[in-house]
Chains A and B, each alone.
Chain A
Amino acid sequence: EIVLTQSPGTLSLSPGERATLSCRASQSVTNNYLAWYQQKPGQAPRLLIYGTSSRATGIPDRFSGSGSGTDFTLTVSRLEPEDFAVYYCQHYGNSPPYTFGQGTKLEIK
């Protein structure tokens, strides 16, 4: 089972700045089956990125995903006030189990 480690635990930035969130896997992720979610307090998670770099429907292009092997990155090019939230990466193989990272909190500086 792949273990995902996200860093940093908390990222403090200002609106307009660029955010770079990391997700490292304990073993190589096959087929780039890596997704990213955004979660705001009291809400369900929202799918942002799947397949490492494909944006889900309706996701602004300021969100981008990249990476391969064991190292993956979510980048938010210019932070908007609504982007401050918790972000999770997730590995999804051809069948369960599915694993999530522990999350990165993106907070306003």
Chain B
Amino acid sequence: EVQLVESGGGLVQSGGSLRLSCAASGFTLSTFWMTWVRQAPGKGLEWVASINQGGSEKYYVDSVKGRFTVSRDNAKNSLYLQMNDLTEDDTAVYYCARPRYLQFGHFDTWGQGTPVTVSS
């Protein structure tokens, strides 16, 4: 079964850091671009970051550039999001997502999400 499982979320103070992980199973992670999407409480979906298969290309939404770093370890079938200098605006459920096979940009596989709460 194809599955993504996020972990690492929690409560952190403003200015703090968290590292999110996304464990992939049922497929070969190295075949796919991977993406992080977040959803603030009661709000819509926001694309956060994407990384190509080998990790050489990374893209970020403007609001997290310089603070968040997306990475991957294909040997461990894992995706990561290092989040530094967190603010209350980063409070959200963070999802990792995978596109359809050999496709890009639209996501047919999602994790259950991991909540991040940033307090002042």
Contacts and interface: CB of A to CB of B under 8 A. Distances in A.
A101 interface: yes
Given A45-B45, A100-B46, A102-B44, A93 B105 contact: yes
Greatest chain A CB density within 10 A among B37, B95, B108, B111 is at B108
Given A44-B113, A50-B106, A92-B106, A98 B50 contact: yes
Interface string A92-108: 11111111111100000
Count class of interface residues, chain B: 20 to 34
Contacts of B59: 95-97
Contact of A90 (B61, B106, B108, B110): B106
Interface in B11-53: 35, 37, 44-47, 50
B71 to A, nearest CB: 16
Nearest to B61: A97
Nearest to A47: B108
B112 interface: yes
Interface in A11-68: 33, 35, 37, 39, 44-47, 50, 56-57
B91 to A, nearest CB: 17
Contacts of B95: 44-45
A88 interface: yes
Given A44-B111, A45-B110, A50-B100, A100 B105 contact: no
A16 B44 CA distance: 27
A101 B57 CA distance: 25
Given A44-B110, A96-B59, A101 B44 contact: yes
A97 B111 CA distance: 20
A96 B57 CA distance: 10
Nearest to B47: A98
Nearest to A90: B106
Contacts of B50: 96, 98
Interface of A: 33, 35, 37, 39, 44-47, 50, 56-57, 88, 90, 92-103
